[in-house]
Amino acid sequence: MAEKLIIFDTTLRDGEQSPGASMTREEKLRIARQLERLRVDVIEAGFAASSQGDFEAVKAIADAIKDSTVCSLSRANDRDISRAAEALAGAKSARIHTFIATSPLHMEKKLRMTPDQVFEQAVQSVRFARNLVGDIEFSPEDGYRSDMDFLCKILEAVIKEGATTINVPDTVGYAIPELYGEFIKTLRTRIPNSDKAIWSVHCHNDLGMAVANSLAGIKIGGARQIECTINGLGERAGNCALEEVVMAIKTRSDYFGLTVGVDTQQILAASRMVSQTTGFVVQPNKAVVGANAFAHASGIHQDGVLKARDTYEIMRAQDVGWSANKIVLGKLSGRNAFKQRLQDLGVDLDSETEVNNAFAKFKELADRKSEIFDEDILALVSEESLSHEKDTFNFVSLNQHSETGERPHASIVFNVNGLEVHSDSDGNGPVDASLKAIEKHVKSGAEMVLYSVNAISGSTESQGEVTVRLQNSGRIVNGVGSDPDIVVASAKAYLSALNKLRSQSDRVMAQG
Residues that bind ligand KIV (CB under 6 A): 14, 99, 139, 141, 169, 171, 202, 204, 510, 512
Are the CB atoms for 463 and 482 separated by under 8 Å?
Answer: yes
Closest distance of CB 418 from Zn ion, Å: 40
Closest distance of CB 74 from ligand KIV, Å: 10
Nearer to Zn ion, 205 or 482 (CB): 205
Closest distance of CB 14 from ligand KIV, Å: 5
Nearer to ligand KIV, 88 or 168 (CB): 168
Q: Are strands 447-455 and 464-472 parallel, antiparallel or unpaired?
A: antiparallel
Nearer to ligand KIV, 147 or 350 (CB): 147
**Nearest Cα residue to 503 out of 475, 474, 481, 465:** 475
Closest distance of CB 11 from ligand KIV, Å: 12
d(Cα 214, Cα 240) in Å, to the nearest integer?
7
- Which of the listed partners (Zn ion, ligand KIV, none) does 139 bind, with a CB threshold of 5 to 8 Å by partner kind? ligand KIV
Nearer to ligand KIV, 10 or 478 (CB): 10
Long-range contacts of 52-56 (CB under 8 A, 24+ apart): 52/505, 53/24, 53/25, 53/503, 53/504, 53/505, 53/507, 54/507, 55/83, 55/86, 55/87, 56/25
Are the CB atoms for 76 and 99 separated by under 8 Å?
Answer: yes
d(Cα 413, Cα 426) in Å, to the nearest integer?
15
Nearer to ligand KIV, 204 or 409 (CB): 204
d(Cα 184, Cα 59) in Å, to the nearest integer?
33
- Which of the listed partners (ligand KIV, Zn ion, none) does 488 bind, with a CB threshold of 5 to 8 Å by partner kind? none
Nearer to ligand KIV, 175 or 433 (CB): 175
Among 46, 177, 181, 512, binds Zn ion (CB under 5 A): 512
d(Cα 141, Cα 128) in Å, to the nearest integer?
19
Among 5, 11, 14, 129, binds Zn ion (CB under 5 A): 14
Closest distance of CB 154 from ligand KIV, Å: 14
Q: If phi over 0 gives left and psi between -120 and 50 gives alpha, with beta otherwise, what is residue 507? A: beta
Stretch of 6-14, 257-265, 321-329, 340-348 lying at the interface with Zn ion (CB under 5 A):
6-14
Site membership for Zn ion, residue 235 (CB under 5 A) = no
Closest distance of CB 141 from ligand KIV, Å: 4
- DSSP symbols for 350-368: SSHHHHHHHHHHHHHHHHH
Q: Which residues bind Zn ion (CB under 5 A)?
A: 14, 512
